[in-house]
Amino acid sequence: MDKRKHNKGTLGNKGGRPPKADEQRLIEQLNPMHPMALKAIESGLKESQSWAVKLFMEYYYGKPQQYIKTEILSQKSMTISLDELNQLNQTHDN
């Protein structure tokens, strides 16, 4: 008899990934609002609203690369991008 459902201390995503049908239903509900959302962004850009400019720039050009400053055991500091950190982690995991 499998008693996994009775284990205590379960962490993480207990329900798993939501069904694709739920995601599709949400997209269908939001679809009629698409033109309204585009008009709101357009009017925000025309009025130089900071949120609209930021949103436009991040989607048009991409977010700027983020850097993490870290200290190594030798007490020397270095700056590394998130992409470089991910590459190091992938190399380390293999």
- Report the C-alpha dihedral over residues 13, 15, 34, 64, rounded to 10 degrees: 10
Residue 57 lies in a domain: yes
pLDDT digits (tens, 9 = 90+) for 36-65: 999 999 999 999 999 999 999 999 999 888
Tokens of 30: 């939001």
From the centroid of its chain, how far is CA 44? 23
Residues 34 and 53 in one domain: yes
For residues 54 and 61, give the distance between their C-alpha atoms in angstroms, rounded to a whole number: 10
Q: Find the domain containing 49 and state its range.
A: 21-63
Q: What is the pLDDT of residue 91?
A: 75
Residues 73 and 84 in one domain: yes
pLDDT at 7 over 70: no
What average pLDDT does this structure show over 22-26?
Answer: 90
Specify the pTM.
0.47
Residues 82 and 49 in one domain: no
Residues 76 and 91 in one domain: yes
pLDDT digits (tens, 9 = 90+) for 28-38: 999 999 999 99
Residue 11's φ and ψ, nearest 5 degrees, are -115, 165
